[in-house]
Amino acid sequence: MLIVEDETIIRQGLKVLLEKVFGGFQVAEAKSGEEGLSLIRQRLPHLIITDIRMGGLDGFSFISKVRQVTEDIPIIILSGHSDFEYARTAIRYGVTDYLLKPVNRTELSETISKLFNTREIEHYDTSKQFQKVLHYIDDHLSKEMTLKHIAEYVDLHPQYIGQLFRTELNQTFTEYVTEERLKRAKKLLKETQLKVYEVAQLSGYKSPKHFMTMFKQEVGMTPVQYRKFS
């Protein structure tokens, strides 16, 4: 979870509440919208709890930027204001829930419990989408491939797909594709009599020279040596 709140006492109180009282949650803290965005770019949280009125990037501006990355992260707003316009704006930004300060423990607990019961179903859907991404990569290893290509195929934001690789596989998109291309190259070198330049092409490398450099760097021997000694 990520808590974005500029008031230290409230932010730390929520962290203790979620980690120690409710239990089972790992909570990251951000004292501003800018800091929150920085943390999100490193790793997507399962839930964001954010204040509205903060110095610098206010809550709604922060949420707007989050929604440019992904529309899937549930967001709970905390506010000291019960103004209808706030609630209406929150709905427009796809906010999951809107809670008033001071935070009511029972209300927060019920909101999160209901949310994660729903998210279990959504996570299953996300896993299916991610499998679709992996199948696409496997089917297109011999071709030029970017996150933009994949995003258009599965109808997800490129940055969100990149984050999925980190959360699901603890790898970047580039690391995964490189690994899969090398696996294919090894298989072709061992099981076929294809020329090295043909193996390079079928593994997604336009330049045989680049392929040989990459292969030796990652495997510790040239493609010819690998075929001979493996």
Q: CA–CA distance from 29 to each of 60, 78, 206 (Å)?
A: 18, 15, 45
**Domain holding 191: CATH number?**
1.10.10.60
Q: What is the dihedral of CA 192, 194, 199, 202, to 10 degrees?
A: -90
Which pLDDT belongs to residue 24? 74
Which pLDDT belongs to residue 3? 95
> Is the Cβ–Cβ distance between 98 and 86 less than 8 Å?
yes
Residues 30 and 95 in one domain: yes
> 113 pLDDT band (50/70/90 cuts)?
confident
Domain boundary (119, 138, 163) is at 119
Our CA angle for 52, 158, 30, nearest 5°, is: 30
For 189, the token pair is 């070198």
Largest CA distance in the chain: 74
Residues 201 and 114 in one domain: no
d(CA 192, CA 178): 21
pLDDT, average across residues 48-54: 89
What is the per-residue pLDDT across 81-108, written as a single tens digit (0 to 9) for each?
A: 766 566 667 777 778 888 888 888 888 8
- Classified as helix, coil or strand, 224 is helix
Domain boundary (119, 137, 158) is at 119
Q: Tell me whether residue 139 is in a domain.
A: no
